[in-house]
Structure 1
Amino acid sequence: MRSITKASGLGAITAVALMTALSACGSDSLNTGSTGSASPTGSVTTGGADSSLAAMVPADIKAKGTLTIGSDASYAPNEYLEGGTTVVGMDVDLFNAALAKLGLKGTWQNANFDTLILGVTSGKYDAAASSFTINADRMKQVNMISYFSAGSQWVTAKGNPNKVDPDNACGLTVGVQKGTVQVDDLTARSKKCTESGKEAITQVVEQDQSKVTADLISGKVQAMVADSPVALYAVKQTGDKLEAVGKIYDSAPYGIVVAKDQTDFAKAIAAAFTAMEKDGSYKQILAKWGQESGAITTFEVNPSVG
């Protein structure tokens, strides 16, 4: 789950080709005109605008018609850059479908993750969708609408040659992305190791998750830990290079972000997701990206979280 920060489409499965693809993602260049699409094939029927849902949209939002959506497109399969310019991914498909129910469209802009909430509160973006883990601190600043559930997942080399056990990781070298909740998790695990007289966990912290994955493929680290959709996508896209180890844990909801004074718009988005769940388009999109396990059935504005 992305805490304060967050992989490109991974087409080739050889280590060299994969690392080339990975190193290309997470670009700081901004795309100001992408409407978003998706790489994996699969038919998803979202339908047109729902008049009853569109009636829930505040007048100022409805007048815009096309909204500006901020996202850090470096977190495949949730959001990443295709062709270096177009923001695509599961989150893009989901939110675009919800907007369509409301009679709206979105133009997606790529930006650094830690600038997105400020972009929403300042009015630069009408909304942000970027694998935001819902938490109390964020909900003090913005409204958040739950739409997916993700946890943490460990990944190691195929065959687990280092006998990695997430519950007994003392002495391991583990890759992790800067600013994520997984950094806090590893820090806490390492503290328990040293307090019991065992070796600490060595963290190799990278700015981009793509580099973390490349570190694991190259053998620089013995394992990595990341959000479950991202970790499992990396396993799938690398063919016989990686495997998941242990179970998904510490699951929490992702949330779409809108301004604090846009509660009515937030409610409309939640209602659109509810409609998508009922007509099957929500699960169709998740299936397209291989993320059915993260499906939820209740979509809430500022849900209670632990």
Structure 2
Amino acid sequence: MTANDKKKAFINIGIIVLIIAIIAGGWTYFANETKTKSSDHWYRIKKSKKIKIGLDDTFIPMGFRNKSGKLIGFDVDLADATFKKLGIKVEWEPINWSTKEQLLNDGQIDAIWNGYTISAARKKKVAFSIPYKKGTQVLVTLSKDKINSFADMKGKTLGLQNGSTAQTQFQQYKNLLKKYVKGTPQKYDTFDKAFMDLKAGRIQGILVDSMYAGYYVKHLSDSQDYKIIYGGYPTDENGVGFRKSDVKLREEVNTVLKKFQQNGKMKSLQEKWFGKADSGLK
């Protein structure tokens, strides 16, 4: 083989290697892109124009049924408005609140949007949107029981929702309420059942989100018979819960929520349902 032939052979080999490298690189990119699209459900949701959101449909005023059975509430309005901007219709799915993260990660729902408090423990299971509402945990009692502080719950029975932030913070902040109440709190699937037991005298207090307590008590015919007591639980923030793989879906929702925080939409919805809005909203 002449020197010229060797040179041509070397060039040909180089071209073949380059082609193989380009093909391999393209295939890797395609595979990664396909993997991303298959693991991020945004592409399915965008194509079908539907998203399934899980909620406790008794959680006033975030998501609940009115007298005619229609689903209404702050989170219902906010989620519907958010996905309307994205050209997607929300399909609301009532769920057992204590299994919400499992239902999300099993693919039975696409998001949790229902006064869902952001916490370190929950961040291990889901990816949260930006915060969109602030709240805290309060104690609701009957005025006739003369309970004016957490200390007045000494030896009395407390109720709370199973799987709720109230349950988590009751255990976490032992010196606030836990050190006073009798035994283990009575757990309920929904807070409306806890209020029935409170009125019947089977429990003497309910630890519940301040937004729920304020709205629920205000709309009772005998609201003057109830008392809401603040006792030092920290301010917490609500967010939307997504699967950790749904990066694009979360980004799309965050973009709309940020717009709502700037253009007055978030403020108007908070004023509609809570009578006032969080500070800092335009």
Q: What's the TM-score, normalizing by structure 2?
A: 0.73
Does residue 125 of structure 2 align to residue 149 of structure 1?
A: no
Aligned residues: 236
Q: Does 2:210 correspond to 1:228? A: yes
State how 1:118-267 maps to structure 2 within 5 Å.
Answer: 118-145=102-129, 146-158=131-143, 161-167=145-151, 169-186=153-170, 188-189=174-175, 192-193=179-180, 200=182, 203-238=185-220, 239-246=223-230, 249-267=233-251
Kept in 2: contact 1:157–1:222 (CA 8 A): yes
Partner of 2:62: 78
**Which structure 2 residue ranges, 5 or more long, are not aligned?**
1-40
More strand by share: 1
Q: Could you give the per-residue CA deviations for residues 124-168 of structure 1, whole angstroms, max 9, x where no partner exists?
A: 22222122221233323322112212210112223x642331255
SS at match of 1:70: strand
**Cα RMSD for the two superposed structures:** 2.8
Which protein, 1 or 2, shows the higher relative CO under an 8 Å CA cutoff with sep ≥ 6?
1
Larger helix proportion of the pair: 2
Aligned counterparts of 1:256 and 1:80: Cα–Cα separation in 2 = 17
Q: Find the residue that maps to 2:238 and give its secondary structure.
A: strand
For structure 1, which runs of at least 5 residues remain unmatched after alignment? 1-56, 194-198, 299-306
Equivalent residues of 1:153, 1:227 under 8 A apart:
yes
Conserved? CA contact 1:70–1:109, under 8 Å: yes
1:176–1:122 distance in 2 versus 1, CA, 3 Å: closer
- Verify the 8 A CA contact 2:85 2:256 in the aligned structure 1: yes
Q: Percent of pairs identical after alignment?
A: 24
CA distance in 2, matches of 1:192, 1:268: 44
**Regions of 4+ moved over 6 Å:** none
The alignment's TM-score, normalised by the length of structure 1, stands at: 0.67
Q: Which amino acid aligns with 1:121?
A: N
**Cα distance in 1, alignment partners of residues 153 and 62 from structure 2:** 28
Alignment partner of 2:185: what SS?
Answer: strand
Residues in 2 aligned to 1:250 and 1:282: alpha-carbon distance in whole angstroms: 23
| Structure 1 residues 125 and 201: CA distance shift in structure 2, 3 A | closer
Structure showing greater Rg: 2
1:7: which partner in 2? none
CA distance in 2, matches of 1:246, 1:223: 12
